[in-house]
A and B are shown apart, each in its own frame.
Chain A
Amino acid sequence: MKPDFWKRLAETARRAPAGPPAEMPFGFDTRVVASWRGRQEPEEALPWTLLLRGALVCASLILLLSVAMNYQALKEREPGSVAIADSAIRMSMLP
């Protein structure tokens, strides 16, 4: 049977003394809590964000609808060639 080198290595590695117990660095808990607080704030602001986003969508729809409804009127405001000719004829007929 082939010798299991990994098993031998792992057995020796297991017997190695454990490192020093983990000492929490100063301020670590404060950093964790500050980061937790930082994440909470956007969550609390979420209802307002959703409301504002809805309002923006509504405003855009109203704008598009009003442009569509008044499209003809907006288009006719452009002085066409017929209108210019008509105006010129009327001017020439004036006393």
Chain B
Amino acid sequence: MAEAGLDMAACLERVRQRDEDAARALVRELYPLVMKIVRSHLPRRTDEEDLAQMVFGKIFAHVDQYSGSVPFEHWVSRVAVNTCLNALRAEKCRPELRWADLNEGEAEAMERVVATAKGPDPSEQLTARELAHKMLETLLPKDRLILTMLDLEERSVEEVRERTGWSGSLIKVRAFRARMKLRKQFAKMMQE
């Protein structure tokens, strides 16, 4: 559970002086934020706890480089996003999604996406989310990251820019191309 009223600046100063109690307090404070990002961009076959530990490892290894020009949580988010991106890159193969790979619920949700203008029923929201993540797994890591943030988390281009450090135009172009790829993927699956 996050500690109420943690003085972030003082805590960071203590962490820089290698105070382990302060480091523990910082982990407890940042855990929900880091875990939320890790869960959104978790590669297949990767344990979320291992990835979160990797993120914290990077935070502590580079904490001296934090200049204070942006809120610490933003800096942590960027570290977490980049760590997830590297983990996604390490996952060499991107499976091609086929109709036969879908389970019964996913196939029904997919049929409703195609058949009705509204898309799947509200009861199928969780299945739709699973299906959306499966489709995103077929994209390049950067494209996947951008579409997850823009289309599933409803973040603005500016927010994605802050979290990734990429330019706004790059984000827009990549998002456009990634959506095109997904449309092609849909069309291909429907032909099967």
Q: Which residues of A contact B (CB under 8 A)?
A: 2-17, 19, 21-25, 28-33, 35-37, 39-40
Enumerate B130-148 residues with CB–CB distance to A below 8 Å. Answer: 131-133, 135
- List of A residues within 8 angstroms of B151 by Cβ: 6-7, 10, 14
Query: What residue in chain A is nearest B27 (Cβ atoms)?
Result: A29
Q: Which of A4, A19, A36 meets B60, CB within 8 Å? A: A36
CA A32 – CA B56 in complex, angstroms? 7
- 21 A-B contacts (beta carbon < 8 Å): A6-B135, A6-B179, A6-B182, A8-B118, A9-B109, A9-B128, A12-B125, A13-B129, A13-B132, A13-B152, A14-B152, A16-B128, A22-B35, A23-B1, A29-B24, A31-B53, A32-B27, A32-B53, A32-B56, A33-B23, A39-B60
- List of A residues within 8 angstroms of B131 by Cβ: 9, 13
Q: Which of B18, B24, B31, B125 meets A13, CB within 8 Å? A: B125
Given A13-B128, A28-B49, A32-B23, 19 more A-B residue pairs with CB atoms under 8 Å apart are A3-B114, A6-B179, A6-B182, A12-B122, A13-B133, A14-B151, A15-B125, A16-B125, A16-B129, A21-B32, A22-B31, A22-B35, A22-B39, A24-B1, A28-B52, A31-B53, A32-B53, A33-B24, A39-B60
**A9 close to B57 (CB less than 8 A):** no
CA A19 – CA B126 in complex, angstroms? 10
- List of B residues within 8 angstroms of A36 by Cβ: 23, 56-57, 60-61
Q: Which of A5, A21, A39 meets B183, CB within 8 Å? A: A5
Interface centre among A4, A6, A17 (most CB of B within 10 A): A6
Supposing A4-B183, A5-B113, A9-B132 touch, asked if A28 and B31 sit within 8 A by C-beta, the answer is yes
- List of B residues within 8 angstroms of A15 by Cβ: 122, 125
- List of B residues within 8 angstroms of A21 by Cβ: 32
Taking chain A's interface residues, is the majority helix, strand, or loop, or is none over half, making it mixed? Answer: helix
**B61 close to A39 (CB less than 8 A):** yes
Interface status of B154 (Cβ within 8 A of chain A): yes
- List of B residues within 8 angstroms of A39 by Cβ: 57, 60-61
Query: What residue in chain B is nearest A37 (Cβ atoms)?
Result: B20
Supposing A9-B113, A31-B53, A35-B57 touch, asked if A16 and B20 sit within 8 A by C-beta, the answer is no
CA A20 – CA B126 in complex, angstroms? 14
- List of B residues within 8 angstroms of A12 by Cβ: 109, 113, 119-120, 122, 124-125, 128-129
CA A33 – CA B124 in complex, angstroms? 41
Supposing A6-B135, A33-B23 touch, asked if A24 and B31 sit within 8 A by C-beta, the answer is yes
0/1 interface trace, chain B 1-37, chain A, CB 8 Å (1 if under)? 1000000000000000010100110011001100110
- List of B residues within 8 angstroms of A5 by Cβ: 113-114, 182-183, 186
